[in-house]
Structure 1
Amino acid sequence: MANTKQARKRALKNELRRKHNASQRSMVRTYIKRVVKAIRSGDHAAAMSEFRAAQKVIDRIADKPAYDKKRAARVKSRLNARIKALAA
């Protein structure tokens, strides 16, 4: 465990940051699941509205260190491709 006051504070801040980042990643996964559920139901309009909502959240979280920008782009691209396939 940390010996100095500064090290104790850093350990505390690191733990708080870890929990916050985990919460943000969990929220992104939830939005992705909503889009996938709409795609599986076969409703293109619902899938598009869920995708728009998820896209905003993914972009917002990707600007922070909690979620990688390239991963966010890949996820959005794959979801969009599945929605386009649903429309065809």
Structure 2
Amino acid sequence: MANTEQSKKRARQSEARYAVNKARRSRIRTFVRKVEEAIASGNVEAAAAALKAAQPELARGVTKGVLHKNTASRKVSRLASRVKAMSAPVAAE
């Protein structure tokens, strides 16, 4: 348990940051899930639009310290390659 004023304040700040970061992480996961669902549905336009919306959210997570830069980059890359793979067979026809 926090005893000093400073440690009590740090505990309060930590709780507040935890809540903000939790909300940010949840928001990012929601955007990523929307891309996953669009890919699963097979709708190329919806998947591309969802990916375009998710990319800035992932980048914002990096700047806010919720995600590591390489983690966000990896997620975007993997989602983009999956979206691209969806449209490749259609373009070949």
TM-score normalized with structure 2 length? 0.91
1:7 paired residue number: 7
> Which of structure 1's runs of 4+ aligned residues deviate more than 6 A?
none
Letter in 2 for 1:45: E
Structure with larger Rg: 2
Letter in 2 for 1:63: T
Deviations 1:55-85 (A, max 9, x none): 1111111112111111000000000010011
1:19 paired residue number: 19
- Cα offset for 1:15? 1.0
User: How many pairs align?
Assistant: 88
Where does 1:23-42 land on structure 2 (aligned, <5 Å)? Answer: 23-42=23-42
- Cα offset for 1:43? 0.8
Letter in 2 for 1:34: K
Letter in 2 for 1:73: S
* Structure 2 Cα separation of the partners of residues 83 and 43 of structure 1: 10
- Cα offset for 1:29? 0.4
TM-score normalized with structure 1 length? 0.96
Q: Does 1:87 align with 2:61?
A: no
- Cα offset for 1:19? 1.3
What is the alpha-carbon root mean square deviation over aligned residues?
0.7
Helix, strand or coil: the match of 1:65?
Answer: coil
Letter in 1 for 2:71: R
* Structure 2 Cα separation of the partners of residues 63 and 9 of structure 1: 25
Letter in 1 for 2:23: S
* Structure 1 Cα separation of the partners of residues 66 and 56 of structure 2: 15
* Structure 1 Cα separation of the partners of residues 69 and 24 of structure 2: 14
Deviations 1:16-39 (A, max 9, x none): 111111111111000000001001
